[in-house]
Structure 1
Amino acid sequence: MSILTEGNVVSVAIAMLGGAVRVSTPFLFVSLGECLTEKSGRINLGLEGTLVFGAMSGYAVAFLTGSAWAGVGAAAVAGAIFGLMHGMLCSLPRVNDIAIGIALMLLGMGLAFYFGKGFIQPVAPSLPSINLGWWADSPQLRSALRINALFLIGIILALAMAWMFRATRIGLMIRTVGDSSDAARALGFRTTLVRVASTAAGGALSGIGGAYLSLYYPGSWNEGISSGQGLMAVALVIFARWNPIGCFWAALLFGAAGALGPALQSVGVTQGYYLFFAAPYLLTLGVLIATSSPNQSMSGAPGELSITK
């Protein structure tokens, strides 16, 4: 076991900074997608399947076309299709959002494993990165500041969604439908259409998060690529209080937790190896416990969500 010196602490901090950016990106896209869906009054627990299927379809299309961005587009379309299926099925009478989400999660993972077997070995092109650390003398810092374009797009999306919910008619429609179906109908809003569209858009964002996993970090397709990130994103949205900006900061926090194990291992700390790599799951459990107070857990939640009833 290596003792953490001052130099090692700095190395771990830099590694966690770079890791937080890399690991947080799929969390960011999936949580933004779930935030949009839940703002309309619907919860989608099938995002794990959407994430995995998006990773597979994005990788397959990138390999077949030679374009990583074509893979991102394909993953978004695949995610939108799963979101559309979820939205339409949940619009039927006496259909439970949570049950449909679990069913679609299993469907998405099963289809991804079936169609993706032929793409485990082939190498698809990777998404490009932007070197924001060109000014740094430290190779480690330059590596930490090598940012993928999807991370920057995710930041812009978080800001745009926060503005949309606060200052646009579309945002007002989504929030009204999510808070009260009766009020939305009184205002002439088509609740079913708004929820289906929001769920489809949320699925598209989750598919993009999957494409990031297979086309950039870790940058390959395999059946265990997600590690439960789609399900953890649901807890992340609750932790962020259904706020897109909060989703960004929460994604960074979860990303830093996911980077803790590799960062410590890089400086020779091996005791507690499995505990370090379990940090994101422990954080998820801690978040759920911390927000389980009857007075705090649903603060800011849309009134029509199944989990609030």
Structure 2
Amino acid sequence: MNDDLGLWTVLLAVIGGAIRVSTPFLFVSLGETITERSGRINLGLEGTLVFGAMSAYATAVVTDSPWAGVAVAGLAGGGFGLLHGFICRFPRVNDVAIGIALMLFGSGLAFFLGKPFIQPSAPPLPAIPLGFWSDTPQVQAALRVNVLFLVGAALAVFLWWAFRNTKAGLIVRVVGDSADAARAMGYDVDRVRLLATAVGGVLAGIGGAYLSLYYPGSWNEGISSGQGLMAVALVIFARWNPLACFGAALLFGGAGALGPALQSVGISQGYYLFYAAPYVLTLALLIATSSPDRALAGAPGELSLK
């Protein structure tokens, strides 16, 4: 019976952890999906995620409002996206190199400006207790869902629909598949990519706000642990499909929650290895989706991933 209870506890912990851990992956991957659908890669979203976490936490400390923190994080992320898109408009500029530079710049700036906010406590984002019907603490904890997770899930559905059924979605897809065709149709390719990169930055910034204001719910220099870069790999695994991004984010979140779940039931020997599960999963997915003999299914034609 104890073994059954232990397994049940681990399962609940993984489910709850998948929901909590997946939210930053979800927002960053949806943002990068929009950006890459326009034909541009933004590896700077790791720096955007970290800066968004810092700016959200600092704003929440100063204003005592977590939602003000989310808004500022989104604006900051949009600013980084605009900067990336503006620089990439110049000829002979490599978007991958610019993304790496902005990743380092965003992280370094966040560490510099965020030092005074490591100790102060900020108000957290609210959560919805969907497990209110149960008297079991594990069920209540697993089904305590943050509002941003639900927003991200709805956004994934909306983007999936918008890419197929709206003029804006069609324009982004045309620009990402063939810049020449888009220009022939009268679209400003640079402007579309600039806006797509900015929107992607906004979503990455909001993902950072979730990190510092809900889970893990603090600001420190190691808060991201490379989630921004892993989310880029997630986009490739999801084949640039927003709905698949949602499922892949839950998969990554479940992998990230496995170590704490095992530790919660007293399995301590070697549990550190399970903390590496998201990184191992990222490497495995990149290897599995790479092939010198075939193009990636669903990849926008203008990306250098073919």
Do both proteins adopt the same fold according to a TM-score greater than 0.5, normalized to the shorter chain? yes
Task: Specify the code of the residue in structure 2 equivalent to 1:139.
Answer: P
| Separation in structure 2 between the aligned mates of residue 297 and residue 13 of structure 1, nearest angstrom | 37
Q: How many equivalent residue pairs?
A: 305
| Aligned twin of 2:156 | 158
Task: Specify the code of the residue in structure 2 equivalent to 1:48.
Answer: E
Partner of 1:147: helix, strand, or coil?
Answer: strand
- Mapping of residues 1-309 of structure 1, within 5 Å: 5-294=3-292, 298-308=296-306
Q: Are the counterparts in 2 of residues 39 and 178 from structure 1 also a CA contact under 8 Å?
A: yes
| Separation in structure 2 between the aligned mates of residue 50 and residue 34 of structure 1, nearest angstrom | 12
Partner of 1:307: helix, strand, or coil?
Answer: coil
Partner of 1:306: helix, strand, or coil?
Answer: coil
| Separation in structure 2 between the aligned mates of residue 178 and residue 94 of structure 1, nearest angstrom | 18
Larger mean CA deviation between 260-269 and 299-308 belongs to: 299-308
Task: Specify the code of the residue in structure 1 equivalent to 2:160.
Answer: A
Q: Are the counterparts in 1 of residues 41 and 95 from structure 2 also a CA contact under 8 Å?
A: yes
| Cα displacement (A) at 1:219 | 0.3
Q: Are the counterparts in 2 of residues 75 and 207 from structure 1 also a CA contact under 8 Å?
A: yes
- Give per-residue Cα distances to partners, 1:73-121, cap 9 Å, x unaligned: 0000000000000011111100001100000000000100000000000
Partner of 2:305: helix, strand, or coil?
Answer: helix
- Give per-residue Cα distances to partners, 1:107-137, cap 9 Å, x unaligned: 0001000000000000011000001111122
Partner of 1:137: helix, strand, or coil?
Answer: coil
Question: Identity across aligned pairs (percent)?
Answer: 69
| Cα displacement (A) at 1:287 | 0.5
| Separation in structure 2 between the aligned mates of residue 240 and residue 72 of structure 1, nearest angstrom | 26
Q: Where in structure 1 do 4 or more consecutive aligned residues deviate above 2 Å?
A: 293-297
TM value normalised by structure 2: 0.98
Q: Are the counterparts in 1 of residues 299 and 305 from structure 2 also a CA contact under 8 Å?
A: no
Larger mean CA deviation between 213-222 and 290-299 belongs to: 290-299
| Cα displacement (A) at 1:39 | 0.2
Task: Specify the code of the residue in structure 2 equivalent to 1:29.
Answer: F
Q: Are the counterparts in 1 of residues 176 and 303 from structure 2 also a CA contact under 8 Å?
A: yes
Partner of 2:207: helix, strand, or coil?
Answer: helix
Larger mean CA deviation between 294-303 and 228-237 belongs to: 294-303
In structure 2, stretches of 5+ residues that fail to align are: none
| Separation in structure 1 between the aligned mates of residue 242 and residue 295 of structure 2, nearest angstrom | 17
Partner of 2:291: helix, strand, or coil?
Answer: coil
| Separation in structure 2 between the aligned mates of residue 50 and residue 295 of structure 1, nearest angstrom | 34
| Separation in structure 2 between the aligned mates of residue 243 and residue 120 of structure 1, nearest angstrom | 37
Task: Specify the code of the residue in structure 2 equivalent to 1:23.
Answer: V
Larger mean CA deviation between 134-143 and 174-183 belongs to: 134-143
Partner of 2:128: helix, strand, or coil?
Answer: strand
| Separation in structure 1 between the aligned mates of residue 295 and residue 264 of structure 2, nearest angstrom | 37
| Separation in structure 1 between the aligned mates of residue 251 and residue 153 of structure 2, nearest angstrom | 15
Q: Are the counterparts in 2 of residues 30 and 209 from structure 1 also a CA contact under 8 Å?
A: yes
| Cα displacement (A) at 1:294 | 3.6
- Give per-residue Cα distances to partners, 1:167-216, cap 9 Å, x unaligned: 00000000000000011011111111100000000000000000000000
Task: Specify the code of the residue in structure 2 equivalent to 1:15.
Answer: A
In structure 1, stretches of 5+ residues that fail to align are: none
Q: Are the counterparts in 1 of residues 29 and 235 from structure 2 also a CA contact under 8 Å?
A: yes
Q: Are the counterparts in 2 of residues 97 and 306 from structure 1 also a CA contact under 8 Å?
A: no
Task: Specify the code of the residue in structure 2 equivalent to 1:129.
Answer: A
| Cα displacement (A) at 1:292 | 1.0
| Separation in structure 1 between the aligned mates of residue 86 and residue 156 of structure 2, nearest angstrom | 26
Larger mean CA deviation between 141-150 and 299-308 belongs to: 299-308
Q: Are the counterparts in 1 of residues 69 and 209 from structure 2 also a CA contact under 8 Å?
A: yes
Larger mean CA deviation between 293-302 and 152-161 belongs to: 293-302
| Cα displacement (A) at 1:295 | 5.2
Q: Are the counterparts in 2 of residues 177 and 183 from structure 1 also a CA contact under 8 Å?
A: yes
| Cα displacement (A) at 1:296 | 5.6
| Separation in structure 2 between the aligned mates of residue 296 and residue 266 of structure 1, nearest angstrom | 44
CA RMSD of aligned residues (A): 1.0
Cα distance change of structure 1 residues 189 and 98 upon mapping to structure 2, 3 Å threshold: same
